Amino acid sequence: MNKVNLVNKTSSKINYPHIEKITSPTVSTDQAAFYLNRNGQTLRNWACYDNGPIKPRRINGRLAWPIDQIKVVLGVAI
C-alpha cells in the first residue's frame, strides 16, 4: 500500500509582530485576523455585510483594518 503524506497546515502560519509594536495605521485582512483570532474570511464577511465590530477602510479595492480599532476590540487601547 502507498502511504500518503499529509501536510500540516498549521506549520506554515505567519508570525506577525506584537500588536503594540505596529506603527502603521492599518493592517491587512490576514494580519487583522491573526490578532483577532478569527479566520480571514470572517473579516471579509464583516466588511461585505457591514456587521462586524470593526469597519475596514477600502483602498483601491483592498481592505485595510485600522489598528486602533483592533486594539479597542482587544482591550489593549490606552
Q: 38-68: string of b/e by CB count within 10 Å (b at 16+)?
A: eeeeebeebbeeeebebebeeeeeebbbbbe
The predicted pLDDT at position 77 comes to 77
pLDDT digits (tens, 9 = 90+) for 6-19: 444 444 578 999 99
What percent of the chain shows pLDDT beyond 70?
83
Residue keyed to cell 493592517? 27
Q: What is the dihedral of CA 46, 38, 69, 27, to 10 degrees?
A: -100
Mean pLDDT for 38-57 is 98
Beta strands in 1-78 (DSSP E): 26-27, 57-59, 62-66
Which grid cell sits at 24? 502603521
